[in-house]
Amino acid sequence: MSKTPGNLFILSAPSGAGKSSLIKALLERYQSDAQQQVQVSVSHTTRAPRPGEQDGVHYHFVDQDSFKSLIDKGVFFEWAEAFGNYYGTSKETIESTLQHGIDVFLDIEWQGARQVKEQISDACTIFIAPPSKQALLQRLTGRNQDSEDVIAGRMAKAEAEISHYHEFDYIVVNDDFDKALADIDAIVCSQRLRKERQVLRQKALFDDLLK
């Protein structure tokens, strides 16, 4: 894909690192910014909706056959099998949104992040880590209603995701929520100001300044 005026941000984290809350807070912060529109891509998944999740809002929920036929049709920019389900990001959403100068945030796991980076080398990948194993365990234990096996399974999945932390451009440790939010905001701001992007975004300004 050629360079676009919009930036692509990828946020990955193990479950329990606070990624969803951080993304929600980031969007609230950016939604009032008239200069720069942002969008979170809505993925397709074969997993069942959780209570409160809406089709087309949290995910496009599809069955396995439909997902596989979307793969065959080349609909996905990236897709992966994770935790026994398929997840994928549609090409159209990403390409046309970025071409329109809108920043896109992807909430995807490491395999997807790797595939996107291979195709868009200036995509900005951010890994969010929990501050300690103890904190992760506490967050994954929830209300103590789950069996040890279930919690051990969640820990194993989290560790599998964490083992890829070094593949990302930036690493944010979510010890203090506000600090982690400020860290991601700083990354987003600096990415937006990179010359490669500004040359596209500020073309009219520089044409005028140098006329």
Residues forming contacts to ligand 5GP in the complex (CB under 6 A) are 43, 47, 78, 80, 82-83, 87-89, 107-109, 111-112
Strands 38-40 and 76-82: unpaired
Of 38 and 197, the one with the shorter C-beta distance to ligand 5GP is 38
Q: Min. distance of Cβ 187 from ligand 5GP in angstroms?
A: 18
Of 135 and 160, the one with the shorter C-beta distance to ligand 5GP is 160
Of 180 and 197, the one with the shorter C-beta distance to ligand 5GP is 180
Q: Min. distance of Cβ 67 from ligand 5GP in angstroms?
A: 11
Comparing every residue's Cβ against ligand 5GP, the nearest one is: 112
Q: Min. distance of Cβ 138 from ligand 5GP in angstroms?
A: 18
Q: Min. distance of Cβ 25 from ligand 5GP in angstroms?
A: 17
Of 7 and 12, the one with the shorter C-beta distance to ligand 5GP is 12
Q: Min. distance of Cβ 45 from ligand 5GP in angstroms?
A: 6
Of 157 and 201, the one with the shorter C-beta distance to ligand 5GP is 157
